[in-house]
């Protein structure tokens, strides 16, 4: 496929505010793609040249991109930036300059319009962007600029518009992963019937390009056989919430597991001691993998940030290959004291990593095993996986430890264990069915989180997504932010719906941080996946997750979270206050509409009692 054809589809996607139309457009695009192109196209739709977990960034700032544009079209960087400021998007600036440049045109006989004779394929452009990402060391800045400039000279104006936005992460197509999965199914079978199968494969690999290519090459039979791959993070299993220990027992039966709920970082450990270049064996990999890799909850590669955990896994985990999950938390071994989350967060850093590792060492409390010595074991029961986890961890380990687990039978035992966990400074408990498999990316009552009740009527925090920003007044004028429009995720419709406006509870520094986020993620119009009855001063791309407390969940005629089709009444948060930024979560990992409905129901049941 010529990249110019892909750019035409990008134009249609960018102009489409309705999800169903997005699916139709994408499915038509995928029908025109070859087996070898489909993966690259899916990465480019995400504005990437590799899956999100690959630490492969194109690494070009605005000035570098502007210099490339100037070089391609024989103008100055200052003129490019001036045009960029006027048009509000560097892609539009590049498109305008491209139209004015001398380009080899051909005459289209039907429309009699001049169309650039660009012959670059999707693969050519993808490989060019990948070459930019791989450029490093002395002279890398000049090399990146030259590669991009050479690409632009060979592209038509519409292609130029989209290509220059990719290095800056400003490609705004408004497409979520579920939309892509729907379109992949539509392109092959004419409906969305294979969406669930594709989603299961995606949950096991977290690699949209790999799933698409595997599906196109091996069909439904092949995609159904997708298993875990060491080096590709698994989308984590999620827990449900219940209002009481008694309700948990009703769901779990008369025998189940209970573990402490740590207030730290959820970490997925990938271990592979096999020799050779693993990049050659990893579909879609762009660089050689390490023996140990660590991924955060939102699938970010955090290996570089936790050298003490890497060393601990290497020395203390007795397996040839494994994928396991645990919670990393700052821990004082001398006093046997868990440190607050605020201390643990200091370890998420890019600089002075070794220094901080010595100052604030981490302990990883492992609680699940998903893969062992070449075999995907997610289909085994929790009880079986736990025994295998115990077999590879030594009781004398100092860094990689087995999380405590008790098999209990009653609400009274839950409460007793819960009180012990709280007294040690932990969040509460995780309750798990003993016969349940590991459901990658799934939420269900096989796992239940049981946390301490907070003041007010709502017993838990809510993770919301920033959707829009209101300009500041009075003192807040200096911050540029006076309030936030936030929402939750409707997983069934793959859209974000509003649930509250937040105007209090932020510090001055937090207001300033919101202004920085707003400036970076500001959208020219309401994003396609946002459904709202109200309008902020400006919209932002739904990417930032915030954890908030609220007094209660109420019904609201102005918010769209869970809104009734007939009455239009949805849910809202009463008196929400910011707790913290959830950098470890993607927008799609925020609280869902179904969870809000359950929280509302639990709250109502509690009040009735």
SS3 content of the chain, % helix, strand, coil (to 5): 40, 20, 40
Contact present, 382 and 432 (Cβ < 8 Å) = yes
Dist. CA 373–CA 77, nearest whole Å: 54
Q: How many residues does the chain have?
A: 609
Nearest to 576 by CA among 458, 424, 434, 445: 458
Q: Report the C-alpha gap between 317 and 338 in whole angstroms.
A: 22
Q: Answer positive or negative: Cα dihedral of 522, 525, 529, 530.
A: positive
- State how far the Cα of 176 lies from the Cα of 524, in Å rounded to an integer: 18
The CA distance from 114 to 108, in Å, is 6
Residues 6+ apart with CB under 8 A from 579: 461, 546, 547, 548, 549
Q: What is the DSSP letter of 234?
A: P
DSSP code of 477? G
Catalytic residue, candidates 144, 161, 204, 261: 261
CA separation, residue 203 to residues 82, 438, 586 (Å): 44, 11, 14
The CA distance from 362 to 262, in Å, is: 13
Alpha-carbon distance values, 388 to 320, 367, 372, 574 (Å): 13, 11, 8, 45
CA distances from 258 to 178, 253, 448 (A): 33, 13, 9
Q: What is the DSSP letter of 589?
A: G
- Give Cα 29 distance to the centre of its chain: 24
Residue 533 falls in the annotated catalytic set: no
Stated as kind and residue range, the H or E segment containing 396 is none
Q: Quote the CA–CA distance of 150 and 157 in Å, as a whole number.
A: 14
Phi, psi of 33 (to 5 degrees): -90, 150
Give the H or E element holding residue 564. none
Task: Please tell me the distance from the alpha carbon of residue 533 to that of residue 567, in angstroms, as a whole number.
Answer: 13
Q: DSSP letter string over 346-383?
A: GG--SSSHHHHHHHS-EEEEEEEEEEETTEE-TTS-HH
Q: Which residues are catalytic?
A: 261
């Amino acid at each position: 496929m010529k990249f110019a054809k892909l750019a035409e589809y990008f134009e249609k996607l960018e102009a489409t505010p309705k999800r169903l139309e997005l699916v139709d457009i994408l499915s038509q695009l995928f029908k025109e793609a070859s087996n070898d192109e489909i993966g690259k196209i899916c990465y480019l739709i995400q504005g990437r040249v590799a899956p999100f977990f690959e630490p492969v960034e194109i690494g070009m700032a605005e000035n570098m991109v502007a210099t490339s544009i100037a070089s391609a079209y024989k103008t100055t960087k200052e003129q490019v930036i001036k045009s960029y400021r006027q048009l509000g998007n560097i892609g539009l600036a590049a498109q305008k300059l491209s139209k004015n440049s001398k380009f080899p045109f051909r005459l289209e006989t039907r429309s009699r319009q001049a169309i650039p004779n660009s012959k670059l394929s999707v693969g050519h452009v993808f490989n060019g962007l990948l070459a930019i990402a791989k450029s490093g060391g002395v002279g890398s800045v000049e090399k990146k600029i030259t590669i991009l400039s050479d690409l632009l000279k060979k592209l038509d104006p519409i292609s130029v518009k989209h290509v220059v936005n990719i290095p800056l992460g400003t490609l705004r197509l408004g497409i979520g992963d579920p939309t892509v999965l729907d379109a992949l199914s539509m392109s092959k079978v004419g409906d969305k019937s294979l969406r669930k199968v594709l989603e299961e494969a995606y949950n096991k690999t977290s690699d949209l390009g790999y799933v698409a290519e595997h599906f196109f090459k091996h069909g439904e039979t092949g995609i159904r056989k997708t298993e875990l791959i060491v080096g590709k993070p698994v989308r984590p299993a999620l827990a449900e919430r219940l209002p009481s220990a008694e309700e948990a027992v009703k769901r779990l039966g008369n025998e189940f597991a209970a573990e402490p709920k740590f207030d730290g970082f959820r970490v997925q450990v990938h271990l592979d001691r096999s020799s050779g270049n693993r990049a050659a064996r990893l579909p879609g990999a762009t660089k050689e993998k390490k023996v140990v890799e660590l991924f955060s909850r939102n699938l970010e590669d955090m290996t570089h940030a936790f050298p003490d955990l890497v060393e601990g896994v290497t020395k203390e985990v007795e397996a040839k290959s494994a994928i396991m999950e645990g919670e990393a938390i700052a821990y004082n071994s001398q006093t046997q004291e868990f440190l607050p989350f605020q201390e643990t967060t200091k370890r998420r850093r890019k600089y002075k990593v070794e220094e901080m590792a010595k100052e604030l060492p981490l302990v990883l409390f492992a609680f699940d095993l998903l893969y062992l010595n070449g075999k995907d074991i997610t289909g085994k029961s929790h009880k079986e996986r736990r025994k295998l986890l115990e077999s590879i961890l030594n009781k004398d380990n100092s860094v990689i430890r087995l999380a405590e687990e008790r098999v209990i039978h009653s609400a009274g035992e839950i409460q007793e264990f819960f009180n012990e966990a709280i007294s040690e400074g932990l969040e509460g408990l995780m309750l798990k069915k003993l016969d349940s498999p590991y459901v990658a990316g799934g939420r269900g009552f096989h796992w239940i989180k049981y946390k301490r009740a907070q003041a007010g009527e709502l017993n838990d925090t809510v993770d919301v997504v920033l959707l829009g920003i209101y300009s500041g007044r009075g003192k807040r004028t200096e911050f540029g932010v006076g309030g936030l429009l936030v929402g939750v995720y409707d997983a069934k419709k793959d859209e974000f719906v509003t649930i509250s406006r937040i105007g209090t509870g932020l510090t001055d520094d937090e207001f300033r941080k919101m202004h920085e986020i707003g400036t970076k993620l500001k959208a020219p119009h309401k994003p396609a996946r946002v459904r709202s009855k109200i309008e902020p001063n400006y919209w932002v791309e739904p990417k930032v997750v915030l954890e908030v407390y609220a007094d209660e969940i109420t019904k609201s005629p102005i918010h769209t979270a869970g809104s009734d089709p007939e009455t239009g009444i949805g849910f809202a948060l009463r008196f929400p206050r910011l707790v913290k930024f959830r950098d470890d979560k993607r927008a799609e990992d925020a609280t869902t509409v179904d969870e809000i409905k359950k929280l509302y129901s639990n709250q109502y049941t509690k009040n009735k009692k």
